[in-house]
Amino acid sequence: AQTVTQSQPEMSVQEAETVTLSCTYDTSESDYYLFWYKQPPSRQMILVIRQEAYKQQNATENRFSVNFQKAAKSFSLKISDSQLGDAAMYFCAYRTPNTGNQFYFGTGTSLTVIP
Amino acid sequence: GAGVSQSPSNKVTEKGKDVELRCDPISGHTALYWYRQSLGQGLEFLIYFQGNSAPDKSGLPSDRFSAERTGGSVSTLTIQRTQQEDSAVYLCASSTGQGRNYGYTFGSGTRLTVV
């Protein structure tokens, strides 16, 4: 069974500082993809960053980067130079092409950015 | 349309009534997904459509829940005899379903409140 765990229900960061959100997952598959989604109060889920499991290089999108540790099944999100607009719920998600197209989501981390 | 559109945005219904939630995916997206997000919880998979067929209905919580998709486009999620535990945000997402690294595009959801 595939599971995604986010152990930090809430996190806070000072504006302009760096914060890391944790995510672990459990799978027996070798071919899979990992994602971080952001959900602001508008409720719309916005894709932040994605990582292919077969790639060793960590994905980076501007101020957002991941630390992908495949052996440890860990996929953390680092937000650098935090901005007020980064405040939202962040969900870690997993997908494998080997069990259909379903995404598995963690329970989310609520990020507060302190001015 | 430019994005995934869901209607209504908010719905309050009395216990025991039936409700229909609508999702308009991005034009050309063949895959469509419904998820449920209860307060403080992650996203719970409900059903997935590829075209008009639903190869995976495993997430529907009971036989009071059903969904259909017509013309490979609009989808309707129907909840019969609503219960208070059905109160949640219902999110729809669509994707091309192509390629190995696709992500979802989400709508803004329908917040259902059963009173």
Residue range B33-59, pLDDT digits in tens: 999 998 877 889 899 888 888 877 888
Give pLDDT tens digits for A61-78: 999 999 999 999 999 999
Angstroms from B16 CA to nearest CA on chain A:
26
The shortest CB-CB distance from B104 to any of A97, A103, A108 is to A103
Cα gap A52→A38, rounded to integer Å: 19
**Residue B6 banded pLDDT, cuts 50, 70, 90:** very high
* Nearest alpha-carbon partner for B44 in A102, A79, A14: A102
Tokens for B26?
């991005």
The shortest CB-CB distance from B42 to any of A50, A91, A97 is to A91
Taking an 8 Å cut-off on Cβ atoms, the answer to whether A45 and B104 are in contact is yes
**What pLDDT is recorded for position B9?**
96
**Residue A13 banded pLDDT, cuts 50, 70, 90:** very high
Residue A33 burial (C-beta neighbours within 10 Å; 0-12, 13-18, 19+): buried
B67 in helix, strand or coil?
strand
Residues contacting residue B48 through CB under 8 Å, at least 6 positions apart: A100, A101, A102, B31, B32, B33, B34, B54, B55, B56
Tell me the C-alpha to C-alpha distance, in Å, between residue B101 and each of A10, B15, B96. 29, 41, 11
Check whether A21 has a pLDDT greater than 60.
yes
Contacts of B11 in chain A (CB under 8 A): none
A68 in helix, strand or coil?
strand
Give chain A's count of helices (H) and strands (E): 0, 13
Give pLDDT tens digits for A69-104: 999 999 999 999 999 999 999 999 998 877 666 788
The shortest CB-CB distance from B106 to any of A44, A100, A104 is to A44
